[in-house]
Every structure is written in C-alpha cells, then in structure tokens.
Amino acid sequence: MQQNMCEDVAMPNIDEDARRWQMEISANAAAGLRYWRQDVRGITAATLARRCSELGFPVTRVAISKIENNSRQGKLEVSELIVLARALRIAPVQLLYPHIPDGRVEYLPHSVVRETVALDWFVGRGKMHLDAHDQKLLEIAQRSSPDELSENRRKLDENREYDEAVLRVQILDELGTLEQEAAQAFIRLRHPSLAGDSEQAVKARDAIGQRLTKVMADIDGVLYDLKSLGMVVNDEDHRYG
C-alpha cells in the first residue's frame, strides 16, 4: 500500500501560537473534506480514495481518515488538496474555506476575516492583494530598464509615506460609508413591516440579508487594508448584529 510522503515529514520548529494556527487551518480543511465527502456527495472514504487513484495521485482511505480527523499534526500536501477537491468535484479553496459565505476564518495568525474576504485574497482579487505602492512598482518594472527602475523606485519610496497617508483617509472614509450602510440594514431588518411570513416580507428580508453579507465582507476587507498600512484596529469595534 502506498503511503503519502507527508505523513513522514517532521513538524517545523515553530512556537506554540504558530502551531495552534497551523492546526486551526488544517482543522478547517478537515471539516471541509468531511462535509463535502459525507454530507454533500454521500460517498465513503474508500470511494474517494479510489477516485483519487483514478486521477493519478493516490490518497489512501487511511490518509483521508487522518485528514478528516486532523490527526496528522496540521499536515496537508498541496497535491492532496488538489486531487481531493477534483475527486469531490469542487474547487480546492472550498476545502480551505468550507463555510462560505457566512463563515469566518483565521486566514493568518490573529487575523480573522469572513471567508468571502479570504477567498478573494486567496484567488488574487478584491482588496487583499498587492498594495498601491507595490502595484505601482510592478507597473514601473514592466516598462523600465534596470537603471531606470532603481531611480524610479527611489522616487516612489520617497512618496510612499504621503501616498499611504492619503490612502488611510480614503479607506477610513470608505469604512464609515460601509458601517453606515450596515447599521441602516439592521434597522430595516427590524422594521415591523418586515415581520411575519408573508412572501413580500420574506423576499425583502432575504434581499437585505444578502446585501448585508456583502457589506460585512467589504468591511472586513477595509479593516485588513488598514492593518496593512500599520494602523491598530480592533475588529470587535466593527461588529454588528
């Protein structure tokens, strides 16, 4: 029987808090794998293992069981993540963030965001990617010679402090707008006209709820941007409901 190589790999020498986060992330994947295999697809671990073998990368039934029980000290190979997701006919990110759109995840140590925000970051869209300075530098690099790049980078670094100050103001303004919209949404949800089980009330609550979910995800993205700029942000000051 073939054994996955990662089962023999020793844990890196990391501190207790880093280990906690590593186990937390692998626990998310464990829950995601168990949910999609058992609750959604309704297949056994043996069937999933067979599908993985058919795809060209064996993941044994025992390995699947250990992943689902999070008993491999936080270890999950990228190759396993990819082939397991394909065997389950889902995207790999759905194993990492199984509670989209309403779940929350500690995507980095001590950085908790909604899973929709983490998803945008993971696939390189939305707010959680290159900052404005690095984006400008990338654009310069694409059209500059090495000497020009060095000079342009020096000038860009000189302006970065000013740019970041302007950006903080813009982001704080955006945060204020989003928080005002969130507060108004909660007020509308509590309005007497939306009480009851009438079709009109249910549709109205669903529409407001969907918009509120998007707004809260945007707030998480804005808070992340502020932290990236070095601002101290207490996430609990920006929770609603």
Neighbours of 24 (CB within 10 A): 14
Supply the pLDDT for residue 233. Answer: 73
Query: From first to last of its 241 residues, what are the pLDDT tens digits of the chain?
Result: 444 444 444 445 678 888 888 888 899 899 999 999 998 899 999 999 999 999 999 999 999 999 999 888 778 899 999 999 999 998 898 898 888 777 788 888 877 777 877 887 787 765 554 455 555 655 665 666 666 666 666 666 666 666 666 667 777 888 888 888 888 888 888 888 888 888 888 888 888 888 888 888 778 777 877 777 677 777 666 665 5
CB 163 within 8 A of CB 132: yes
Q: What is the pLDDT of residue 54?
A: 93
Length of the chain: 241
Per-residue buried b or exposed e for 120-159, using 16+ beta carbons within 10 Å of the residue's own CB: bbbeeebbbeebebeebbeebeeeeeeeebeebbeebeee
Contact 107, 220 (CB under 8 A): no
pLDDT value for 9 = 45
What residues form DSSP beta bridges with 112? 106
pLDDT value of position 2 = 43
Q: How far apart are alpha carbons 29 and 31 in whole angstroms?
A: 5
What confidence score (pLDDT) does residue 108 get? 82
Name 204's Cβ contacts closer than 8 Å, sequence gap at least 6: 194
pLDDT attached to residue 82: 94
- What is the maximum alpha-carbon separation in the chain? 69
Distance CA 216, CA 128 (A): 15
Helices (H) and strands (E) in the chain, counts: 9, 2
Does the pTM exceed 0.95? no
Report in angstroms the alpha-carbon separations of 178 from 43, 118, 168, 222, 223.
Answer: 42, 19, 15, 9, 11
Domain spanning 5-98: CATH superfamily = lambda repressor-like DNA-binding domains (1.10.260.40)
